[in-house]
Amino acid sequence: MTDTTIPDFTPAPIPTEAELASFDHRDVPSSATAVGNVQLGEPVLTGLPPEMRQRVAEKMATVKADHAIFERQFIREELEKNSYRVKVLAGIHKEANEYERVSFGIMREIYHMQREADRLSDELADVAGYSKEHDEEGNPQGVPIPRYQNEARRAREAALEDVRRRIRLLEGREGDQLRAEAAKVTQDRIRDQNERLAEDHEVRRLAAEKQRSQRIAARVDKIVQNRQHEMR
């Protein structure tokens, strides 16, 4: 006899926006994927880039005991930070939900704008040289001469303020609005998926019932035919 048992269907829970916001970036897969059966060993200090090794070495300089344990801990911390940076800059996996994608997108945009703000700040702080002047007591002193002056300086100051304004918006109400919209999209997609799966489950259940009814009807027909044959 054919097994027509249909597994129970349990819809996926619809997360609240607060639950979506509590995601751990370490659990979000990056856009980089490994192919095949990849097995990674324990990370070692020599396998890190120079700047990461330097930061680990600086932390290790304060360690008095259990050097091996702390070294592994510091290496993992560096790798986690680097993983987060890679996800921010390179993107996350297509299986991530909309809320996670938008959140990382906001962080990516803020990251690039902060780099732009740093560049503009450096240009405004840059000096072309020093003028020879004297203080109130007549002592010689060098007064810095900004490399960018007049219109060039005003343009950079305006650009810097605009970048900082956009960062504040993304860190504030604009970012909140984007995440709220992404939360709704994520919730709607889960809800739609639940409906599709529930419909598929119902189709399979009805199909199983129909098959059962057909089998019963076939057996009934067989019995009726046998009885009619016996009555002749």
pLDDT at 114: 93
The residue whose two tokens read 């996800």 is 87
Q: How far is CA 3 from the centre of its chain?
A: 43
pLDDT at 52: 74
Separation CA 132–CA 144 (nearest Å): 9
pLDDT means over runs of 10, the chain (232 residues): 69 94 81 51 65 81 80 74 70 86 91 94 93 78 89 96 96 95 96 94 92 93 86 72
pLDDT at 45: 66
Tell me which DSSP letter residue 199 carries: H
Q: Are 91 and 31 in contact (CB under 8 A)?
A: yes
pLDDT at 115: 92
Separation CA 130–CA 148 (nearest Å): 14
Q: Which residues pair with 131 in a beta bridge?
A: 143
pLDDT at 38: 44
pLDDT at 132: 82
Burial status of residue 226 (CB atoms within 10 A of its CB: 0-12, 13-18, 19 or more)? exposed
pLDDT at 40: 46
Q: Are 121 and 65 in contact (CB under 8 A)?
A: no
pLDDT at 35: 44
The model's pTM is 0.67
Q: How far is CA 13 from CA 94, 119, 186, 191, in A?
A: 21, 45, 12, 9
Tokens of 173: 């109400």
Q: How far is CA 142 from the centre of its chain?
A: 49
pLDDT at 170: 95
pLDDT at 160: 97
Tokens of 195: 């409906």
First to last CA, the chain: 32
pLDDT at 4: 59
